[in-house]
Structure 1
């Protein structure tokens, strides 16, 4: 049975996702069906445009937050689908109030095209760059990488997902229907004030251990649930948080069949019980919903450790040490099954033919 609003409210309250706001519930947040970022498919045109813009986003159904986004989005940007072996022309226009740089995180490209802190885009100017892509298919991402402003800019919304593809996912037996059986999930934690506005105000502890929030957003949405067909579903997971490490699992005990890491496809799926993702990491997993039952993507808490740095985006990428720790668990995303949705894939593929033949993953079954 699909998860009801009452189920969502109970689970959110039990998980402590709304800590700090007395009486706040998913019913107040709006909930609803999880939306995918708009898809920009540049595999044929070999060109795409991004316009950084200001806007307002009401995350919790209370007061709106001033946010930044790309194109028609007030928060985050579209999913870019690019050919894995192409020369793709990118145009990035800055219409926000300060310079930013845009980094293609995971693309193996020359430094002059990488969009690091050395390449700020001034307000009201456009950066035109050729992306000479030659690497295996993978899920990568883009985000502001501005000197001393990376964390603040990504908190505001300057980030999005890139799918590198060779067009052969159907041959591999992988779900590939965007937003139906192939879900892009940008997982981020945020802090909000009592009026419901997102805030980024790191104190001394945050600068040492990493800025973490107590509300989980998926694709910039709070309290939404994914709806999937009764079959095999692909989750493209991005940890877009500043410092939080996730240890993702199925509450119902479903096996996660890992098919891809940051750098591309595995040779074959690997069955795991949980998946740990540090800030900036990506992975792709398959889940089998052919039994028609709903589920919840959850995470156990992992404490940050080490000296200084402030996490992935505290000032420089991967600035602080990440050390394992454990705590409670919390909900990430409820997933409901809609039998009326077409299930294109009904079994886990035996082989994928990726470039990574074997992985020594803790908890993997072989």
Structure 2
């Protein structure tokens, strides 16, 4: 097998062991990547296992996570050094129900310090797992909290200041599913069968089989090989008429514009913070790094549609848009519907009560300017508290991207509603609870945030761009709840 080289010089052909084909692009000149119609979908999709748990004497559901180094065989030519939780790459899916007390014993068996951030979780700041909760090599950290938020697809990943992109690229990522305390809204619920997690990432392999871990574009690492749950060019056998896909954009820099090879309509039923009030039919769904969505796709017996990522407009100039992957066309996952499918009921017209956030008038309005890796002209300082908010209060934040690069904005320990972007109401599929909002160049989002009820004047939460290279370079701020 030839050496694995950069996407800007070579295009990865179909199959894990396929040859690489020269695309004719010269160094320094950006060209779009297209894998549409070129992949062989030779391997079954890996499904992250559900993490086992025990019940402690105080009623807490206890999970064990060990971060450790390993080795994974993505290509037959050479193994890839990887990091994972309870395994060689990625981590198990943690699952708990609203109202449960959760305790996670996190052991760091890596050679470097790490953290585990519970992205999207309403959690006390001391257990948030940000850059302030560092776990030294050989040490253990045991956060615990009571889950008090709606059913949602969340995730966990490292948040070491200046090292997050590298550690996530090596493989430290996992999903955390919160189940509600009520009925399942008529959605598919059998994990790995008709309720399927999709952790979507991209990677570039070096000639020795290792991951490239240094940034390749101003946005960050942009890979030429797509991984879905750690699988390259995978397929999923479908045995039911309807399948719920929990999509997580776990890439550190790539924006995905999801759709299908036959341009079929699919239904968005949930976003970052939970289930939407009503199903929303769409043909495309764009998610920036860190965002999640739950979709329901209906299938007919024997068909084999492909989940793809289509070109998107990031608001950047033509050359920058290409370098950021905005013109790429990517095949991701083939679905193989069985010759006979189990019947599935149609989705109800409404899923949950209208997403009333119980938001009274905002107590305050704040403004945030994103430009040149700064927020409001400041670079991240671990010792500086940038904002102080009232625990459990509601505020309106105006977040503006005045840079020439795309950004997004993630707030720890809180959920928000998008009021508008550039004065226009959000599309219905983004009208529910969110924790991350995408900001193309020159876009301004107004968001209304309900803050954590946990007061802690000494320990900050963070807000930052979730293009991870940008966060590593200092595009972050800190706030406390008092």
Classify the TM-score, shorter chain: 0.7 to 0.9
1:297 & 1:271 partners in 2: Cα distance?
Answer: 16
Superposition pairs of residues 54-65 of structure 1, within 5 angstroms: 54-65=69-80
Residue in structure 2 matching 1:226, options 233, 236, 240: 236
Q: Is the 2:65–2:107 contact (alpha carbons within 8 Å) kept by the matching residues of 1?
A: yes
**Which is helix-richer, 1 or 2?**
1
The aligned counterpart of 2:161 is 147
The aligned counterpart of 1:361 is 427
Q: Is the 1:67–1:75 contact (alpha carbons within 8 Å) kept by the matching residues of 2?
A: yes
Residue in structure 2 matching 1:249, options 234, 238, 259: 259
Query: The residue matched to 1:134 in structure 2 has which SS?
Result: coil
When structure 1 is superposed on structure 2, of 354-363 and 45-54 the one drifting more is 354-363
Higher-Rg member (1/2):
2
What is the count of residue pairs matched by the alignment? 328
When structure 1 is superposed on structure 2, of 91-100 and 223-232 the one drifting more is 223-232
1:18 & 1:121 partners in 2: Cα distance?
Answer: 35
When structure 1 is superposed on structure 2, of 131-140 and 191-200 the one drifting more is 191-200
Pair 1:83 & 2:94 matched:
no
2:269 & 2:83 partners in 1: Cα distance?
Answer: 32
2:198 & 2:256 partners in 1: Cα distance?
Answer: 13
Once the two structures are TM-superposed, the CA of residue 303 in structure 1 deviates from its matched residue by: 6.3
RMSD after superposition: 3.0
Once the two structures are TM-superposed, the CA of residue 110 in structure 1 deviates from its matched residue by: 1.3
Superposition pairs of residues 195-344 of structure 1, within 5 angstroms: 195-202=208-215, 206=217, 208-302=218-312, 326-339=326-339, 343=342
Give CA deviations for 1:138-189 in whole Å, capped at 9, x if unaligned: 00100000111100000011110010002655x4111111111111000001
Cα 1:276–1:231 shift into 2, 3 Å:
same
1:302 & 1:233 partners in 2: Cα distance?
Answer: 25
1:222 & 1:130 partners in 2: Cα distance?
Answer: 35
Pair 1:136 & 2:150 matched:
yes
Once the two structures are TM-superposed, the CA of residue 84 in structure 1 deviates from its matched residue by: 2.0
Query: The residue matched to 1:39 in structure 2 has which SS?
Result: coil
Q: Is the 2:105–2:142 contact (alpha carbons within 8 Å) kept by the matching residues of 1?
A: yes
Pair 1:186 & 2:185 matched:
no
When structure 1 is superposed on structure 2, of 26-35 and 95-104 the one drifting more is 26-35
**What is the TM-score when the length of structure 1 is the normalising length?**
0.81
Query: The residue matched to 1:154 in structure 2 has which SS?
Result: helix
1:244 & 1:78 partners in 2: Cα distance?
Answer: 23
Query: The residue matched to 2:17 in structure 1 has which SS?
Result: helix
Query: The residue matched to 2:234 in structure 1 has which SS?
Result: coil
The aligned counterpart of 1:28 is 17
The aligned counterpart of 2:115 is 101
Query: The residue matched to 1:351 in structure 2 has which SS?
Result: coil
Q: Is the 1:120–1:146 contact (alpha carbons within 8 Å) kept by the matching residues of 2?
A: yes
Once the two structures are TM-superposed, the CA of residue 354 in structure 1 deviates from its matched residue by: 5.0
Cα 1:262–1:117 shift into 2, 3 Å:
same
Give CA deviations for 1:236-258 in whole Å, capped at 9, x if unaligned: 00000011001000112221200
Pair 1:74 & 2:74 matched:
no
Once the two structures are TM-superposed, the CA of residue 300 in structure 1 deviates from its matched residue by: 1.3
Once the two structures are TM-superposed, the CA of residue 282 in structure 1 deviates from its matched residue by: 0.3
Unpaired runs of at least 5, structure 2: 1-5, 19-40, 357-416, 418-424, 431-482
Once the two structures are TM-superposed, the CA of residue 195 in structure 1 deviates from its matched residue by: 4.0
Pair 1:117 & 2:131 matched:
yes
- More relative contact order in 1 or in 2 (CA 8 Å, sep 6+)? 1
Q: Is the 2:194–2:240 contact (alpha carbons within 8 Å) kept by the matching residues of 1?
A: no
Q: Is the 2:54–2:63 contact (alpha carbons within 8 Å) kept by the matching residues of 1?
A: no
Query: The residue matched to 1:209 in structure 2 has which SS?
Result: coil
Query: The residue matched to 2:168 in structure 1 has which SS?
Result: helix
Q: Which stretches of structure 1, 4 residues or longer, exceed 6 Å deviation after superposition?
A: none
